[in-house]
Amino acid sequence: MPPMKHSLTPVPGERPRMPVYALLDNIRSAWNVGSMFRSADAAGLAGLYLTGMTCTPPRPDLEKTALGATESVPWDYTDNPVDAARVARRAGQALIVLEQTPSACDWQGFVFPFPCCFVVGHEVRGVAPGVLALADQVLEIPMAGVKKSLNVAVSFGVLAFAIRNQWLDRPNRVET
């Protein structure tokens, strides 16, 4: 695997974070990526794996929606999303994929394992098949309206805060 371009190592003295990461699989919009950085910071994620065509800081279009969160959220970049998923698994993170598949379960009621890494995919093509094959669980956010899905950054925020709510309900949580 090529070397990472940044580091998921926590910065000494920064606020504690829950042991939750997210893998961004080939996200094409810099504005979506910036929004996910901001949501990751707000929810207290430990870091982001940026992969494939997903843009990396510094970029003005990404920073426009991140509003500085690229400085507070640890992140790594690697070209291959499958490699990043394997890194997460080797680090002991359960791989939870957010994708619409025939076998996907409703995200509501799912008990998230900790540590974990949740995956969101390309705005049109979704999560790479190789990453799906490594998933411990595939979840979806069912739609009640006419449209089949939410914007990927919105879905990211929904899941990040669902995980945070479960984390805060844990009696013996240990933050990173």
All structural domains of the chain: 20-169 (3.40.1280.10)
Q: Does the pLDDT value for residue 2 go beyond 70?
A: no
- Separation of alpha carbons 117 and 92, rounded Å: 9
Q: Helix (H) and strand (E) counts for the chain?
A: 5, 7
pLDDT (tens digit per residue) in 28-70:
999 999 999 999 999 999 999 999 999 998 888 888 888 888 8
pLDDT at 174: 73
Non-local (6+) Cβ contacts of 75 within 8 A are 6, 8, 37, 47, 48, 49, 50, 56, 57
pLDDT at 16: 80
Q: Does the pLDDT value for residue 95 go beyond 80?
A: yes
- Asked if 50 and 33 count as a contact pair (C-beta separation under 8 A), the reply is yes
pLDDT (tens digit per residue) in 108-141:
999 999 999 999 999 999 999 999 999 999 999 9
- Supply angle C-alpha 32, 45, 134, rounded to 5: 80
- Separation of alpha carbons 10 and 49, rounded Å: 14
Closest of 21, 80, 27, 12 to residue 46, by C-alpha: 21
